[in-house]
Amino acid sequence: MPSRSLCVFTRDLRVRDNPALVAACDSPDVAALFVIDDRIVGDGSQIANRLQFLNESLVNLGASLHAIGLELMIRRGDWASSVAIVVRERGVEVVHVAHDGSLIAVRRVKALRAAGERDGFSIVAHPGITVVAPGTLATGHGTPYQVFTPFYRRWLAAEWRPPLRIPENRAAMQASQGARTPMNQPIPIAAVPAIELARGGETAGLAALREWAESRLVGYADGHDDLAADATSRISAYLHFGCLSPLEVATRLRDRPGGEAFARQLGWRDFFHQLLASRPEFATVDIRSAGTPTGGAGEEFERWCRGETGFPLVDAGMRQLLREGFMHNRVRMVVASFLTKDLDISWQLGARYFMEHLVDGDVANNQLNWQWVAGTGTDSNPHRIFNPTRQSQRFDPNGAYIHRYVPELRTIAAPTVHDPPDDVRHFVGYSEAMVNHAAAIAHYRIRRASDVNGRL
Ligand SMILES: Cc1cc2nc3c(=O)[nH]c(=O)nc-3n(C[C@H](O)[C@H](O)[C@H](O)COP(=O)(O)OP(=O)(O)OC[C@H]3O[C@@H](n4cnc5c(N)ncnc54)[C@H](O)[C@@H]3O)c2cc1C
């Protein structure tokens, strides 16, 4: 057993069910570290929502680690070099880290392994970011799954590891480490985060999950698309930063009433993570071609970003994103379809904008969902179109979701609110519809058919 270990937290910011932490705590001398990776954070102005959430998560993690006798060190810079410096300073023999298949994580762990070979320390990667580790499940041909349903069947049937307990309090053993430095805002943020952002951290995540599971899980299968009810769990950011263990969440909830439909969504998360881990280029390039979009980053794109398209449900979603750093899944699909099909603008532009604002912004989930909606991804029906008005009538029949986010329309009742006539729009100061949906989709279909056929 190594006498000195280092647990490097990345996007596993929790003490419950954390295999890397548990393994590190097998050593008599353990240090805990988080590195603010300059490559991800930059000056912080582009991703203020996620940084705010990360700050709160780190403060909470620091307190939880303190309660079990560990002090969380925070360093900033190049990730691998920063870890290697701490290894040297503390005479660490083994570094424990959560396995992460994203390109940036793979590269930095490779750089750390090179440093380990040079300096004589080892690195052990542990599961913890997904329910089933990427690469574990493969098709009959031994290749990663690119179709969800067969993946999901295997995923449900796979043997999941049991969730782990919080390590024992080691205060007595490590008393020599001295008093904890209180953290306030570990990462300075150069921009103002969204006003109604969820609070970060394992404690907040557990509280939110418990409250939601007690009251809403049972109705999840039928109610998750009811936009006015806002009935989904909203745990995506906690999962992204690892404040909650996806394995623990899935294990505890899957057999409860409503749990199967909920676990299926966690299956989607694992599906996209394993796909991106096997094909990192899918974060930027089409999985299957849909030809070259005719729209670009001009005024039409800006109107979509601001939520001024004149389609009430699209505008409500885009304004929810600005206000909360969050958007309901159904509305994400509607606004993404509107951008890529009605406006014929590339999914990459929309995905980048989402990544700037979403508190749960996650390359695997975001980019591969964008590809799914754009018809370049894993959807078995790539020609699917979301009609924004019909989606609004069906999933927000009373207009309550629209009223919540589009103040100009608060006095307009359903069904008029789904597509107000021009004089009503004018009277309340709401935008005209920026395109005719039927004509825009006809144009998109012709463009796509000729583009894609032209390439055959
Ligand atoms: C265009 C687009 C972009 C998206 N970008 C992101 C993103 O950056 N980060 C992100 O976490 N999710 C993303 N999603 C998936 C989904 O919209 C969110 O996970 C969900 O809305 C989060 O809300 P919730 O936690 O209340 O979900 P719930 O309905 O309560 O679901 C529970 C969990 O299952 C997972 N999940 C649910 N739906 C999906 C899905 N379609 N794909 C993958 N995982 C899913 C999430 O981790 C979620 O927290 C995107 C979807 C679309 C259509």
> Does ligand 1 have an atom closer than 6 angstroms to the CB of 332?
yes
Q: How far is CA 218 from CA 75, 209, 223, 246, 299, in A?
A: 43, 13, 9, 19, 44
Identify whether 150 is preceded by a cis peptide bond (ω within 30 of 0). Answer: no
Best CA proximity match to 346, nearest among 301, 283, 391? 301
Provide the residue ranges of all domains of the chain, joining segments of one domain with +. 4-129, 131-159+203-278, 299-454
> Does ligand 1 have an atom closer than 6 angstroms to the CB of 313?
no
pLDDT at position 171: 66
pLDDT higher than 50, residue 278:
yes
HSE (CB half, 13 Å, CA atoms) of 194?
24
pLDDT higher than 90, residue 272:
yes
Q: Residues with Cβ < 8 Å from 177, sequence gap 6 or more? A: 71
Under the banding of pLDDT at 50, 70 and 90, the label for residue 178 is: very low
Backbone phi and psi for residue 223, each to the nearest 5 degrees, phi listed first = -105, -5
176 versus 85: the higher-pLDDT residue is: 85
Residue nearest to atom 17 of ligand 1 (CA): 329
Best CA proximity match to 202, nearest among 137, 248, 152? 248
Indicate which atom in ligand 1 lies nearest the CA of residue 362.
Answer: 8
Ligand 1 center from residue 329 Cα (angstroms): 6
Count of H-run helices and E-run strands, the chain: 20, 5
pLDDT at position 179: 42
pLDDT at position 14: 98
Largest Cα–Cα distance in the chain?
76
Under the banding of pLDDT at 50, 70 and 90, the label for residue 43 is: confident
431 versus 380: the higher-pLDDT residue is: 431
Q: Angle between the 347-357 and 312-324 helix axes, to the nearest 10 degrees?
A: 40
> Does ligand 1 have an atom closer than 6 angstroms to the CB of 155?
no
Give the tens place of pLDDT for each residue, 197-237.
999 999 999 999 999 999 999 999 999 999 999 999 999 99
Structure tokens that stand for 323 in this block: 């206000």
> Does ligand 1 have an atom closer than 6 angstroms to the CB of 341?
no
Spatial contact of 177 and 311, defined as CB atoms under 8 Å apart: no
Q: How far apart are CA 338 and CA 335, in angstroms?
A: 5
Q: How far apart are CA 362 and CA 375, in angstroms?
A: 20
Q: Which CATH class is domain 299-454?
A: mainly alpha
Q: Which CATH class is domain 4-129?
A: alpha beta
Q: Residues with Cβ < 8 Å from 366, sequence gap 6 or more? A: 351, 354, 355, 358
Give the tens place of pLDDT for each residue, 426-442.
999 999 999 999 999 99
Q: Out of 180-194, 225-239, 241-255, 335-349, which region has the weakest mean confidence (pLDDT)?
A: 180-194
pLDDT higher than 80, residue 404:
yes
Under the banding of pLDDT at 50, 70 and 90, the label for residue 173 is: low
> Does ligand 1 have an atom closer than 6 angstroms to the CB of 237?
no
Structure tokens that stand for 384 in this block: 């699917």
Indicate which atom in ligand 1 lies nearest the CA of residue 370.
Answer: 1
pLDDT above 90 covers what percent of the chain? Answer: 86
Give the tens place of pLDDT for each residue, 113-144.
999 999 999 999 999 999 999 999 999 999 99
What single-letter DSSP state applies at residue 383? T
Position of tokens 């789904």? 418
pLDDT at position 176: 46
Alpha helix ranges (H) inside 216-311: 220-223, 236-240, 246-253, 259-278, 299-306
Spatial contact of 282 and 368, defined as CB atoms under 8 Å apart: yes
pLDDT higher than 90, residue 100:
yes
Best CA proximity match to 351, nearest among 369, 338, 334? 369
> Does ligand 1 have an atom closer than 6 angstroms to the CB of 242?
no
Q: How far is CA 318 from CA 306, 326, 383, in A?
A: 7, 9, 23
- Other residues' Cβ atoms within 10 Å of the Cβ of residue 28: 13
Best CA proximity match to 349, nearest among 362, 329, 366, 331? 366
Structure tokens that stand for 304 in this block: 């979509």
Indicate which atom in ligand 1 lies nearest the CA of residue 328.
Answer: 21
pLDDT at position 291: 86
131-159+203-278 CATH: 1.25.40.80
Under the banding of pLDDT at 50, 70 and 90, the label for residue 342 is: very high
Mean pLDDT of 88-115: 96
